Amino acid sequence: MDYKKYFPYITSEQEEKLHKMEQLFKDKNNQVNVISRKDIENISINHILHSLSIAKYIHFKDGTRIVDLGTGGGLPGLPLAVMFPEVSFHLIDRIGKKVKIAREIADELGLKNVTTQHGDMGECHDKFDFVVSRAVAELPILIKAVRKNISKTNFNALPNGLIALKGGELGSELAPYASKSEIIDITNYFEEPFFSTKKIVYTVL
């Protein structure tokens, strides 16, 4: 994957880390199934680039604190941590062996801006500017889980809130939050057919 196609400003070091991440996911997926084995060969587009769609939507300011809820093996948190080295990312998942993989990949890539936690948001008492999430749960469940962790101090271009990567029909789950949400088609950013049904959902919290 040529990440500079969509992110021409990234450094050679960042590009190298993204390519190394592809291989690390492939290697570690043989140990722990963090990505469907049928889909692992599509890691660059279907997983890493998908995660990076958030970086097309918002440029996080240095010092921003982000929690990745239900990170699995580290998505979308790890690709975003490469893209924003001065932003802190806290990766949480209930499945310990997946969190271990995320930690190993972060360490092997030298990502000093990543912390990990085995557990759920109920066990996390820190405050964050944004929550990111990828195909974890419906919006009402996510919002209930993270509302207490959102800082009241805003300093990014968007007010603090939840940024979720979603697909398919979203009408019913979004209805209660329509006035506080924005839906963005990822096809606005990327041309690959995989993204035809993929969306970013941003909700102010």
**Mean model confidence pLDDT for the chain:** 95
Q: What is the mean pLDDT of residues 146-153?
A: 96
pLDDT reported for residue 168: 81
- Mean pLDDT check: name the lowest of 43-52, 80-89, 166-175: 166-175
Which segment of 42-51, 130-139, 193-202 scores lowest on mean pLDDT? 130-139
Asked whether 52 and 80 are in contact (CB, 8 A), the reply is yes
> Angle at the Cα of 31 (from 27 to 32), degrees rounded to 5?
110
- Distance between CA 144 and CA 204 in Å, rounded? 13
Of the listed ranges 24-38, 75-89, 188-202, the one predicted with least confidence: 24-38
Pair 24, 173: CB distance under 8 Å: no
Please tell me the predicted confidence (pLDDT) of residue 171. Answer: 81
- Rounded to an integer, the average pLDDT of 14-35 is 95
Section 17-42 average pLDDT = 94
Backbone Cα Rg of the chain: 16
Specify the pLDDT at position 86: 98
Rounded to whole angstroms, the maximal C-alpha distance in the chain is 44
Q: What pLDDT score was predicted for residue 135?
A: 79
pLDDT tops 90 at residue 75: yes
What pLDDT sits at residue 174?
A: 87
